[in-house]
């Protein structure tokens, strides 16, 4: 004998929309955490500013710096100019696709930055970037205006 109930029988179902919301929340959380984990390898210098600068990805890179007193730095370690080329050649042997970032202090002599650029090119690297502070989005001053 079968007893019939007046309450309709519903099958269980999985709701997808809350799962999608949770996945978007986790995705956004992981993106925010990964963006906040940028490690600076270079020394603290006063970078010049530029309007057309773009942020670049710095996964595998080498930071070379020149401070205002003319001292050269490999990442955060002070290095003699004669040691730059052998060190870069050794890195080029293991990682020829590494990015080279040159950081020159705003008050550094132009000649020191060019000497460093010449050493980097002599080591075999051709893709070199100069690191600046980006002021993209700010108004461009009129020519002749005092900044």
Q: In this structure, what CATH number is given to the domain that contains residue 114?
A: 3.30.420.270
pLDDT class of 61 with cuts at 50, 70, 90: confident
- The answer to whether position 126 is within a domain reads yes
Instruction: Enter the DSSP assignment of 4.
Output: P
- Residue 133 confidence (pLDDT) above 80: no
- The answer to whether position 98 is within a domain reads yes
Q: How many domains in the chain?
A: 1
- The answer to whether position 86 is within a domain reads yes
Residue-level length of the chain: 147
- The answer to whether position 41 is within a domain reads no
138 or 101: whose pLDDT is higher? 101
- The answer to whether position 111 is within a domain reads yes
For the stretch 108-127, what's the b/e string if a residue is b when 16 or more beta carbons lie within 10 angstroms of its beta carbon? beeebbebbbebbeebebee
What domain range includes position 61?
49-134
By mean pLDDT, which of 26-35, 59-68, 77-86 is the weakest? 59-68
- The answer to whether position 14 is within a domain reads no
Sign of CA dihedral 54, 95, 62, 60: positive
Tokens of 104: 């020159």
pLDDT for the residue numbered 139:
44
């Amino acid at each position: 004998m079968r007893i019939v109930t007046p309450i309709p029988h519903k099958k269980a179902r999985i709701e997808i929309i809350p799962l999608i919301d949770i996945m978007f929340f986790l995705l956004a959380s992981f993106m925010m955490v990964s963006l906040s984990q940028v490690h600076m390898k270079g020394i603290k210098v006063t970078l010049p500013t530029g309007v057309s600068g773009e942020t670049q990805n710095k996964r595998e890179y080498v930071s070379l710096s020149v401070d205002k007193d003319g001292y050269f730095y490999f990442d955060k370690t002070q290095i003699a100019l004669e040691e730059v080329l052998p060190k870069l050649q050794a890195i080029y042997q293991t990682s020829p696709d590494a990015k080279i970032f040159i950081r020159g202090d705003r008050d550094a002599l132009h000649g020191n930055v060019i000497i460093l650029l010449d050493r980097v090119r002599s080591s075999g690297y051709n893709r070199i970037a100069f690191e600046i502070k980006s002021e993209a989005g700010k108004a461009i001053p009129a020519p002749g205006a005092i900044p």
